Amino acid sequence: MGERRWGGCDTEKAGGLQDMIEAVEWQWRADEVAIMKSLRHPNIVLFMGAVTQPPNLSIVTEYLSRGSLYRLLRKTDAKEILDERRRLNMAFDVAKGMNYLHKRNPPIVHRDLKSPNLLVDKKYTVKVVAAVGFKGRRLEIPRDVNPQAAAIIESCWANEPWKRPSFASIMESLKPLIKLPSIQPVCTEMSRVT
């Protein structure tokens, strides 16, 4: 490593810094693996194993055939596939998974709850990817979302954490919405019999 001067200070070439970054990243991964190994809930992605040898550090989880909720929401036929009742059930799945994480001792704080970190199985059950991450920006709530569901979402965005509802509270708020009868389109065309 070559010594240099910058801004009147002695510096060292970044090779040592890269080693330190890799060590910190490895420790973060090891901590994440330890947490994931202990989690067992139907709405948390199941940890299967880990590759612990650099440079191929990776986590192996169960396979969820429908992929991320983010991808599912952007399909052209999303409105037909994800009717209101299914969306509310999916929100309830997320609340159950997050409630499980928050009720652990010590509680697990996700820090990056967003649709790319929610995976969907073949039965449209949503599972939370229990990984620590960074805050992202909020998306706009679509106009066609049930106003009661929109109010729940907005309450979760309170700046002060103590003003946000618990996931147990969210589950209670979603229950009556899930039980509401879905408005189904009525077919008005009748086939002709000749």
Tell me how far apart the alpha carbons of residues 152 and 92 are, in angstroms, rounded to a whole number: 12
End-to-end Cα distance, the chain: 90
Report the share of the chain in percent with pLDDT over 70.
69
Residue 11 is assigned to a structural domain of this protein: no
Angle at 37 between CA 34 and CA 43, to 5 degrees: 125
Q: Is residue 106 part of a domain?
A: yes
Note whether residue 193 is domain-resident: no
Whether 136 shows a pLDDT value over 50: the answer reads no
Kindly state the percentage of the chain with pLDDT values over 90.
Answer: 29
In-domain check, residue 122: yes
CATH at residue 138: 1.10.510.10
Write out pLDDT tens, residues 82-115.
999 999 999 999 999 999 998 988 888 777 888 9
Q: What does the alpha-carbon distance between residue 191 and residue 115 come to, in Å, rounded to a whole number?
A: 42
> How many domains, the chain?
1
Please report which confidence band the pLDDT of residue 25 belongs to, taking 50, 70 and 90 as the band edges.
low
**Looking at the annotation, which residues are catalytic?**
112
Global pTM exceeds 0.85: no
Identify whether 75 is part of a domain: yes
Supply the range of the domain harboring residue 88. Answer: 66-179
